[in-house]
C-alpha cells in the first residue's frame, strides 16, 4: 500500500467523522470546532492533489475567517440548550425525506454522467503559480475582486448590527 493511499484514507476518515460530528453535535461550539477540523482535512486532500495554493486559501478563508465569524455569531447570539426549541417529529421526518431525495438525485446524476471526450488543449501557462494567479486576479478580475471584498465588508457590518443589543432607556 502506498503512502499516498494511506494518507488519503486517513484524511477521508477524519473528514467523514468530523462532518458527521458537526451535524450531530448538540453543542454549537463543538460543531464549529469539528467543522474547522473537517476543513483542515479537506485542505490535506488539496495538498494530495498538488494544489498548494488552493489548500492555503481554503485554510485561510474557511478555517480562519468563516469559522471565527461563525463562533462570534454563536457567542453573540448566546445560544444555549435551555432555550433550544425542540422541533416536532414531522419537521425531522421532512428533513430526512429531503436528504434522501437529494442523495438519490445526486447518485442518479453521478451514474448517468459521461466523461468528456476530446482533445484537451493547454496554453502552457502554470496556473498553480501564485505569481500567475496574482496577475490574473488583480488585472483581469480586479473589479469583481473589489466587489466581493465590499460585499463581505457589508455582510460583516450587517451581522454586527443585527446582533447588537439595544440599550434600554431609563
pLDDT confidence band for 78 (50 / 70 / 90): low
Give the tens place of pLDDT for each residue, 100-143.
999 899 899 888 888 777 777 777 666 666 777 778 778 888 88
The secondary structure of the chain in percent helix, strand, coil, rounded to multiples of 5, reads 75, 0, 25
Q: Which fold has domain 1-111?
A: 1.20.120
Task: For residue 17, give the 3-state DSSP assignment.
Answer: helix
Domain ranges for the chain: 1-111, 129-170
- Assigned C-alpha cell, 13: 476518515
Q: CB atoms < 10 A from the CB of 56, how many?
A: 14
Q: Is pLDDT larger for residue 42 or for residue 83? A: 42
Cα 59 to Cα 96, 105, 138, distances in angstroms:
31, 30, 21
pTM of the model: 0.57
Amino acid at each position: 500500500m502506498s503512502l499516498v493511499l494511506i494518507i488519503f484514507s486517513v484524511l477521508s476518515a477524519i473528514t467523514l467523522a468530523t462532518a458527521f460530528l458537526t451535524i450531530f453535535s448538540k453543542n454549537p461550539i463543538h460543531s464549529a470546532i469539528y467543522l474547522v477540523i473537517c476543513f483542515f482535512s479537506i485542505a490535506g486532500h488539496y495538498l494530495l492533489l498538488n494544489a498548494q495554493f488552493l489548500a492555503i486559501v481554503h485554510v485561510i478563508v474557511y478555517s480562519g475567517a468563516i469559522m471565527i465569524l461563525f463562533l462570534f455569531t454563536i457567542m453573540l447570539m448566546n445560544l444555549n440548550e435551555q432555550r433550544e426549541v425542540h422541533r416536532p417529529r414531522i419537521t425531522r421526518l421532512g428533513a430526512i425525506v429531503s436528504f434522501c431525495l437529494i442523495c438519490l438525485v445526486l447518485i442518479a446524476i453521478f451514474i448517468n454522467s459521461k466523461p468528456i471526450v476530446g482533445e484537451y488543449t493547454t496554453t502552457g501557462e502554470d496556473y498553480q503559480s501564485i505569481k500567475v494567479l496574482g496577475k490574473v486576479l488583480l488585472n483581469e478580475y480586479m473589479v469583481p475582486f473589489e466587489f466581493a471584498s465590499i460585499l463581505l465588508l457589508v455582510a460583516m457590518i450587517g451581522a454586527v448590527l443585527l446582533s447588537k443589543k439595544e440599550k434600554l432607556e431609563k
